Amino acid sequence: MMLLRAVRGAITISKDDPDEIISASEEMLTKIMDLNRIKPQDMVSIIFTVTPDIISEFPAVAARKIGLVDTPLMCAQEIPKSGALPLCIRALLYFYTDLQKSEVRAVYLREAVKLRLDLTTQE
């Protein structure tokens, strides 16, 4: 039975640069999809957020670049909280799967591992 699930991901970049944003977003999305056996046809939508210091490109461009042309995408800015991790791209991906909720694996890469040490898997 296919169930609706959601999975989180986050990655940091070294500077606000369009190529870095696209490359990092592709890396994060690919890892999320691989770890959770997500096929494009099983995706419902993806919400991306970026910290206020990222303005040169939309992370959704990376999703389109890897072939997610039929998946609804949205980009938004994170709350500009003092002390928050800078230069961070986050994703919340909704998808259908036969995985149990406990089997869904979040992906936190680079400096973003600091956000959820309890969910970070070393591979």
Ordered per-residue pLDDT tens for the chain, 123 residues: 899 999 999 999 999 999 999 999 999 999 999 999 999 999 999 999 999 999 999 999 999 999 999 999 999 999 999 999 999 999 999 999 999 999 999 999 999 998 877 766 544
CA 24 to CA 22: how far, in whole Å? Answer: 6
Please tell me the total count of domains within the chain: 1
Q: pLDDT at position 118, please?
A: 75
Question: 75 catalytic, yes or no?
Answer: yes
Question: Which letter does DSSP use for residue 60 in this model?
Answer: H
88 is catalytic: no
64 has catalytic annotation: yes
Please report whether residue 25 resides in a domain. yes
Residue 116 annotated as catalytic: yes
Determine which one of 20, 57, 88, 108 is catalytic.
108
Full domain range(s) for residue 84 = 3-115
DSSP 84-121: PPSSEEEEEEEEEES--GGG---EE-GGGGGG-TTT--
120 located within any domain: no
5, 57, 88, 90: the catalytic one is: 90
User: Could you tell me the CATH number of the domain that includes residue 19?
Assistant: 3.30.1330.40
DSSP reduced 3-state for 76: strand
CA pair distance 28, 12, nearest whole angstrom: 10
In a domain, 91, yes or no: yes
